[in-house]
Structure 1
Amino acid sequence: MPTPLPGDFLNKPLSPAVSVRPSACPGLLRIVPALDGGICRIKLAGGVIGAAQARAVARAAQDYAGGVIEATNRGNLQIRGIGAEQGALIETLLAAGLGPNNPDSDDVRNLMLSPTAGLDPRMLLDVRPLAAQILAALENTPRLHELSAKFALSLDGGEGVVMLDHPHDLWLSALEVDGEVLLAFGLAGCPARDKPLAAVPLAYGLELVLGVLNWFLDTARPDQSRMRQLLAEVPAERLLSALASMPLRTDADISEWRRPATVTHGHIGVYPQAETGKVAVGGVTPLGRLDPAMLNTIAQLAEEFGDGSLRLTPWQSLLLPNIAACDAQSVLAGLQAAGLLCSADQALARIIACTGSSDCAKGLADTKADARLLAGQLQRSGISRGVHLSACQRSCAAAHLASVTLLAVSPGHYDLYFRDATQPGFGALQARDLTIEAAGAYLIADSRSNTHD
């Protein structure tokens, strides 16, 4: 059951529309139980959190939970192991400005940006003003609160550090045609693989988003919570007809456009910003987890060397922006000392794993422990490659299709898959019921043969 809302939210009735597409996903105001206690998800606008707010998260995790803080694959934070003082935890976070302005909107603030939005030297535009408009509309438009907590949007301005592989119900991506920057958009997919449905001038960005969301709510049944479910029955051309009042472009310059490649591992280490002499410095949270001491140290580095902000990424890592280039190595050393992984050559930096059987009732294996065993085996062989360990079919740790997936079948045993666009699910099955050591040996041999690298 959801926890009661503290403070000013206690007596505010939720909109009847909230129950149209209910969800068991955690939020800041809805703490969901797990084996290790309650889970609270803190949605961050653009993945950004201030140093003082980060300290509030650390304090809440320390005082009212088990001290486990998670970086999610959508650039948010979670607190795990929450005990009986749920109201006090929520009040601490709300007092730090980490909650929604409207409690009915907590579920639907699902807009993912590049962690280098507004700073990236490759960006075609700073998407943050448009993002702020979209988030304000999601918060303040009661009808949009009917959307599912899983309904998600992405917006990128052409940055070099951006997650393009996560499927979204609506994605928007900047492109330039004949010197004009437009917003291409697509449905139920991602710009890494899919062609745009159409494009609009930047001035129509908010109108486009609202038009798509309202069309979805007008057209979808209550049991259709995601865009892909609606498109299985209704062609996307119906949306274009509904948006006919906008100056849509569907010509070949749009339909044949492909999103330029990103900077590989740009979220790890030192990344140059558009402003001369400024850089962002980043590190990966080991298997997506932080503790209060780590978060407090990182907040101190952000205040001492940067602008006092931290940016969470979809790779379960974080960046400290606006660092003077001359201070980059000092900040990098500080992040490493705090426990972050600051090189893509570290095997653990490229491995993701879900909560696993230690804290999740659905888990078939202790994926966190097995991931560390695997990382050690790969590191000793001088190999670092992207691997996803999932304790069940739900794939909670990876919103995208990973290049390598180990799917648990029993404690310490996994089926091995390699990504294959022609295959459903996790891809092409390579081997069944491998021990974690055997899986490591298989990946080491495959890496040395360069078969799938």
Structure 2
Amino acid sequence: MTASKAGIMAAFAAAAFPIYRSALNERPSSNVIRPSGCPGLLRVVQALDGGICRIKLDGGVIHADQAETVAWVAEQFAGGVIEATNRGNLQIRGIGPEPDALIEPLLAAGLGPREAAGDDVRNLMLSPSAGLDRQMLFDTRPLAAQILFTLQTHERFHELSAKFAVQLDGGEALAMLEHHHDLWLSALVQHGEPWLAFGLAGSPLDTPAGKVPLAQGHALVVAVLELFLELARPDQNRMRQLLAECAVDEFMTRLAGRVPLQPCLDWRRSASPGGLHIGIHSQHDERVYVGAAAPLGRLDTVMLRGAAQLAREKGDGNLRFTPWQSLLLPNVRRENADAVLTQLDALGLLCSLDHSLAQLIACTGSSGCGKGLADTKGDARQLADLLQRRGQALSIHLSGCQRSCAAAHIAPATLLAVAPGRYDLYFRDAALPGFGALQAHNLTIEALGHWLDAHPRSPLDA
């Protein structure tokens, strides 16, 4: 960032930031505020390695200029660590004692909410390839813009928990369908007309609760959220908590009095093929998008700046972050795709699923989190080296505690920390809660290698 640009941004933010702060402090006292420990743009949460600021991106999209601002503030006011989250957002870690100095340039770059109180609730997840995907049934972005505007400006919705989330699926091949949402909507076309199947406390892989015409999609979201807030107690942050006490049939009966609903029969949303977030993939036009993963979800400022410059030179000037903790450069001309992939690789991003790190997930761990029982990032790199020597790339999640912050879905295999350098091994099992079925206890990373040797027919090696 140039000195002149930084000065302009600082002047803009100096005027804007007090307005945001004032708005946060003057929420109507009648509102039910559901407290959260989640960081936001305007709420820096402290961790062992410093403050954390979460930047929520509309549809996962960030302009190259905005990405460069994120890199700049991470260098100037934090430890230079930027994380790609499993909801397609960004986090800055290691923020020092003056968080306002970091927040102000981010607001000036247009990364803030429309209203200060709307920062927490702009939780709408789209496919990273929305509007581009060859398999999409229709472009979800116009409806997404309506929903995001309402989430931020409808005062009642400011009462929602920072964890309350909506998914809008356009039928894309590249779509995260394993994350459960409080409300999900998924595209379907019947007799040439666009519809939205929808469900509560689940994902598009579940049986829908009903369907509405696409034109009623916005009204449906508003009605569901308003009904939730009317029925839920202040300690019920999520739809699943409400539905544990309020029968789904009762909720749906009340909802049908607000929005005309129709049954959705013979629904089937196929699971997306893996790996579409990495590499070169065709769009619905003659161009391609190019994807690369941040190692264990972390970018440094060189990576982010380099990707932003590539997006400006070879793409449409935007980056899209994904729920797989990766980024996409959309709208790349096919003849430039190989060069873009090579340059992303040179920046230190992971450009092939054959790289063992590309399929590992790890939370912050004990190096930055007081609840972490092990250095999950360091242990994950040790595991990646072990797997790379064995010629394996396995989908494994390392979690420092039971909270599973790094993964919003249950991975095929989970290593749950029980002590520094030691983990219990679980395999996903749909019939069991939590991480699944316990396979081994108190393993070191080296011992895991021996366990894999002794169990060559495990789900990981199938």
Q: Secondary structure at the match of 1:357?
A: helix
| 1:112, distance to aligned residue in structure 2 (A) | 0.3
Of 433-442 and 357-366, deviating more is 433-442
**Match for residue 227 of structure 1 among 224, 239, 246:** 239
Counterpart of 2:284 in structure 1 is 274
Kindly provide the CA deviation profile for residues 304-331 of structure 1, in whole angstroms up to 9, marking residues without a partner as x.
Answer: 1000000000000000000001110000
**Match for residue 253 of structure 2 among 238, 241, 256:** 241
Counterpart of 2:221 in structure 1 is 209
Counterpart of 1:143 in structure 2 is 156
Supply the distance in 2 between the matched residues of 1:109 and 1:168 (Cα, whole angstroms). Answer: 13
Counterpart of 1:127 in structure 2 is 140
| 1:294, distance to aligned residue in structure 2 (A) | 0.9
Counterpart of 2:275 in structure 1 is 265
Q: Secondary structure at the match of 2:65?
A: helix
Amino acid corresponding to residue 437 of structure 1 in structure 2: E
**Match for residue 59 of structure 2 among 46, 50, 74:** 46
Kindly provide the CA deviation profile for residues 275-321 of structure 1, in whole angstroms up to 9, marking residues without a partner as x.
Answer: 12x00000010000001111000000000100000000000000000
| 1:16, distance to aligned residue in structure 2 (A) | 3.1
Taking a change above 3 Å as real, the CA distance of residues 213 and 450 of structure 1, as seen in their structure-2 partners, is closer
Supply the distance in 2 between the matched residues of 1:88 and 1:447 (Cα, whole angstroms). Answer: 53
| 1:11, distance to aligned residue in structure 2 (A) | 2.6
Asked if structure 1 preserves the Cα contact closer than 8 Å seen for 2:31 and 2:156, the reply is no
**Match for residue 384 of structure 1 among 393, 405, 409:** 393
Taking a change above 3 Å as real, the CA distance of residues 216 and 37 of structure 1, as seen in their structure-2 partners, is same
Counterpart of 2:379 in structure 1 is 370
Supply the distance in 2 between the matched residues of 1:17 and 1:255 (Cα, whole angstroms). Answer: 42
Q: Secondary structure at the match of 1:185?
A: strand
Q: Secondary structure at the match of 2:346?
A: helix
With structure 2 as the length reference, what TM-score do the two structures score? Answer: 0.94
Of 183-192 and 397-406, deviating more is 183-192
Counterpart of 2:20 in structure 1 is 9
Asked if structure 2 preserves the Cα contact closer than 8 Å seen for 1:401 and 1:426, the reply is yes
Supply the distance in 2 between the matched residues of 1:376 and 1:182 (Cα, whole angstroms). Answer: 47
Asked if structure 1 preserves the Cα contact closer than 8 Å seen for 2:414 and 2:435, the reply is yes
1:307 is the counterpart of 2:319? no
Asked if structure 1 preserves the Cα contact closer than 8 Å seen for 2:32 and 2:234, the reply is no
| 1:447, distance to aligned residue in structure 2 (A) | 5.2
Supply the distance in 2 between the matched residues of 1:120 and 1:17 (Cα, whole angstroms). Answer: 44
**Match for residue 419 of structure 2 among 410, 418, 432:** 410
Asked if structure 2 preserves the Cα contact closer than 8 Å seen for 1:285 and 1:316, the reply is yes
Asked if structure 2 preserves the Cα contact closer than 8 Å seen for 1:15 and 1:142, the reply is no
| 1:84, distance to aligned residue in structure 2 (A) | 1.3
Amino acid corresponding to residue 440 of structure 1 in structure 2: G
| 1:111, distance to aligned residue in structure 2 (A) | 0.3
1:76 is the counterpart of 2:89? yes
With structure 1 as the length reference, what TM-score do the two structures score? Answer: 0.95
Amino acid corresponding to residue 274 of structure 2 in structure 1: T
Asked if structure 2 preserves the Cα contact closer than 8 Å seen for 1:383 and 1:447, the reply is no
Amino acid corresponding to residue 127 of structure 2 in structure 1: S
Q: Secondary structure at the match of 1:107?
A: coil
Amino acid corresponding to residue 299 of structure 1 in structure 2: A
| 1:180, distance to aligned residue in structure 2 (A) | 2.6
Asked if structure 2 preserves the Cα contact closer than 8 Å seen for 1:381 and 1:444, the reply is no
Amino acid corresponding to residue 349 of structure 1 in structure 2: A
Amino acid corresponding to residue 78 of structure 2 in structure 1: A
Asked if structure 1 preserves the Cα contact closer than 8 Å seen for 2:413 and 2:460, the reply is no
Counterpart of 1:429 in structure 2 is 438
Taking a change above 3 Å as real, the CA distance of residues 92 and 415 of structure 1, as seen in their structure-2 partners, is same
Taking a change above 3 Å as real, the CA distance of residues 243 and 452 of structure 1, as seen in their structure-2 partners, is farther
| 1:175, distance to aligned residue in structure 2 (A) | 1.6
Amino acid corresponding to residue 398 of structure 2 in structure 1: L
1:20 is the counterpart of 2:43? no
Aligned-pair identity in percent equals: 62
Of 283-292 and 442-451, deviating more is 442-451
Kindly provide the CA deviation profile for residues 73-100 of structure 1, in whole angstroms up to 9, marking residues without a partner as x.
Answer: 0000000000012111000100100000
Q: Secondary structure at the match of 2:442?
A: strand
| 1:243, distance to aligned residue in structure 2 (A) | 2.7
Amino acid corresponding to residue 229 of structure 1 in structure 2: Q
Taking a change above 3 Å as real, the CA distance of residues 387 and 267 of structure 1, as seen in their structure-2 partners, is same
Counterpart of 1:91 in structure 2 is 104
1:289 is the counterpart of 2:310? no
Is there any run of 5+ residues in structure 1 with no aligned partner, and where? none
| 1:449, distance to aligned residue in structure 2 (A) | 5.8
| 1:446, distance to aligned residue in structure 2 (A) | 4.2
Is there any run of 5+ residues in structure 2 with no aligned partner, and where? 1-15
Amino acid corresponding to residue 189 of structure 1 in structure 2: G
Q: Secondary structure at the match of 1:6?
A: helix
| 1:69, distance to aligned residue in structure 2 (A) | 0.3
Supply the distance in 2 between the matched residues of 1:444 and 1:270 (Cα, whole angstroms). Answer: 34
Asked if structure 1 preserves the Cα contact closer than 8 Å seen for 2:17 and 2:107, the reply is no
| 1:263, distance to aligned residue in structure 2 (A) | 2.6
Counterpart of 1:393 in structure 2 is 402
Counterpart of 2:170 in structure 1 is 157
